[in-house]
Chains A and B, each alone.
Chain A
């Protein structure tokens, strides 16, 4: 699949970054967007694609995807229209060595599917004790630093980590989860956990950690991103910080926009998430925060094999497969909230691209031709066979969702076609 001169005809082009929503042709040459509406002079298409009835938008950008097996998960990414993704450092071994980062970058470049942006470990072995070699990791390809799901318990070390990252202008991403308040909890501290006798995690586990991170971030001036917010109270803290001009961004996992603690039902381990699904009012607060643009949407793709889920709830591994559900679940949320499509797509294209500081998430002329072409109305049923990811774990299994990716381009190359 070489880079061809492509002419995409009759699609509805939506690019929230440049406020574009119109039926225009898209011209691609040398891996870049060469023209919108008008071909560049001397353009001769090697392939012309009829996209009538379809939408073409910037390839989706995902803030966090775990790649168990790299190849199947990157295939899942492009099948879901995701062309750029950030990979958290809690792989085995963790991304705290430049050599590991270089290998991941090389491997993903060789595959030529979605672009992979590694997030480096903030501390060695993610142990929260010693700073990782951030500068060397950045040279190897890391675009930000995080602890993934591990907390830094020592607040002095957290302060030092932020100061050191700020020295070089690196972004720090944190999961706001106070380790002590989280304890051995597995579900939201509310009526469902109380009824089912599950160890619970209070909202304060999130808010205490957010408050700490915000205070230290404003002290150090570091670029802070808070990952996977789960509560209304957490959102309120972010809103307040933004008003006081603290430089902070945040995201919400796509399943948190649709589910609440009630979806645990009778111990459904597919509804076990980190952070946990919280109350319906928390979910509603997350939905409006994303609608207003306070938070971006993230797939939080976490493939878990069947053995990891066929366990009692508290022993099951948390997380869900998400790359192939990111677009349809975002579309479903947008439909339910009656949001303009461009606004919804911003949350999975230009917004996360801006958070990651990468050149992606736009179709403006001269941008890399990372494009997602999808049929917004095509319904499909979520089945194990329909998912390319090795992880078949999702609480949406069996659901019928609208929105199917028909073609994905990365750097002008067709990497997925259905």
Chain B
């Protein structure tokens, strides 16, 4: 099947999903991020890679945090950054997604960073640009529905590589609402591509997608089984609307069964790291003692996230 994010030379033209990305492309992004991490430590935190380029943050779904990290990353690459909160403007007036895109292309956008509530929306935009013959305009998926959040997946891989060096002997547990999680899907694709020894999907049946094992994961309904001797724990945020009784009886019962407490974490390897894409629900999926404890690498994830997003935008602009 034609991979819509790679050009004829196998280079990245859009970042839509981790799925289908060759290992070499992922490693190239991570290596590039490594060099950008040093930029953030300098006095002048800027490189001129995207000077004169316009990056449009088009967020059809609110997310101050993700948008901010993309904005910082683009500005450190010297791009002009335009933030569009589309939830409150065009679509409210009945404009279609592709009409919005056409208008922004006419404003000479070089790159779109897109967040949308519908799975596949960034693919639709990329496909539209291809039909327009605008191979010079790039799309970065900043989260689409329950499908993908590839930069989060990449920053998670960067974090794991930073602390664990090699993927091939790692057991990684992803815990929580995998059914609705674009982060989980991106992490699973990335981990299986990078050769992680075992990826475990941990949660109650109501929060696990059908046939998830086809993505190369082992399903564990019991948290203890899922955590035992693992090297990396990725906790997922439980959205408030999932706790209302349809998928789970209550937040309290969820925490009792799937909350990461120091006692549960003790089942993992002593040097296991704990990750979370944020924002955290303390006392729902994670205990404060763990979130603030020595094994948590949740704040370094945020720092690495800027470097990874700089790497993605830098590579796209060069292709």
Contact = CB atoms under 8 A, between A and B. Distances in A.
Nearest to A199: B146
A220 B262 CA distance: 62
Contact of A266 (B4, B145, B182, B214): B4
Interface string B173-188: 0000000101001000
A210 B136 CA distance: 51
12 contacts: A193-B209, A194-B210, A194-B211, A196-B120, A197-B145, A266-B1, A310-B98, A310-B128, A311-B124, A312-B144, A313-B119, A314-B119
A314 B145 contact: yes
A148 to B, nearest CB: 25
A194 B1 CA distance: 18
Contacts of B306: none
A200 interface: yes
Contacts of B180: 197
A42 interface: no
A154 interface: no
B234 interface: no
Contact of B210 (A193, A266, A310, A313): A193
A416 B185 CA distance: 52
A197 B146 contact: yes
Given A194-B211, A194-B212, A194-B215, A267 B124 contact: yes
A267 B141 CA distance: 14
B19 interface: yes
Contact of B97 (A195, A198, A199, A312): A312
Contacts of A314: 118-120, 145
Contacts of A266: 1, 4, 16, 120, 123
Interface in A66-94: none
Interface magnitude class on chain B = 20 to 34
B210 A312 contact: no
Nearest to A195: B215
Interface string B181-218: 01001000000000000000000000001111011000
Residue among A197, A266, A267, A312 facing the most chain B CB atoms (10 A cut-off): A197
The 8 closest A-B pairs by CB, nearest first: A267-B120, A197-B146, A312-B118, A197-B147, A194-B209, A191-B214, A191-B211, A197-B119
Residue among A190, A265, A312 facing the most chain B CB atoms (10 A cut-off): A312
Interface of B: 1, 4, 16, 19, 96-98, 116, 118-121, 123-124, 128, 144-148, 180, 182, 185, 209-212, 214-215
Nearest to B212: A194
A313 B118 contact: yes
A315 interface: yes
Given A194-B209, A266-B4, A266-B120, A310 B96 contact: yes
Nearest to B181: A197
Nearest to B210: A189
B210 A200 contact: yes
Residue among B116, B119, B212 facing the most chain A CB atoms (10 A cut-off): B119
A200 to B, nearest CB: 7
Contact of B19 (A190, A191, A195, A307): A195
Interface in A379-414: none
Given A266-B123, A267-B123, A197 B214 contact: no
Nearest to B20: A266
Given A266-B4, A312-B119, A197 B182 contact: yes
Contacts of B123: 266-267
B121 to A, nearest CB: 4
Residue among A190, A194, A313 facing the most chain B CB atoms (10 A cut-off): A194
Interface residues of A, number: 23
Contacts of A196: 119-120, 147
Contacts of B215: 191, 194-195
A167 to B, nearest CB: 40
Contacts of B144: 197, 312
Contacts of A200: 209-210
Contacts of A269: 124
B79 to A, nearest CB: 27
Residue among B98, B121, B211 facing the most chain A CB atoms (10 A cut-off): B211
Contacts of B128: 310
A191 to B, nearest CB: 4
Contacts of A310: 96, 98, 124, 128
Residue among B124, B180, B182 facing the most chain A CB atoms (10 A cut-off): B124
Nearest to A312: B118
A15 B211 CA distance: 45
Interface string A115-159: 000000000000000000000000000000000000000000000
A190 B211 contact: yes
A418 B185 CA distance: 51
Contact of B118 (A190, A191, A307, A315): A315
Nearest to A198: B119
Contacts of A311: 96-97, 118, 124
A261 to B, nearest CB: 10
Nearest to A267: B120
Nearest to A314: B118
Contact of A265 (B1, B148, B211, B212): B1
A311 B210 CA distance: 25
Contact of A190 (B98, B185, B210): B210
Interface in A253-280: 265-267, 269
A269 B211 CA distance: 22
Contacts of B116: 312
Residue among B4, B116, B120, B144 facing the most chain A CB atoms (10 A cut-off): B120
Contacts of A194: 209-212, 214-215
Interface in A192-224: 193-200, 202
A202 B182 CA distance: 21
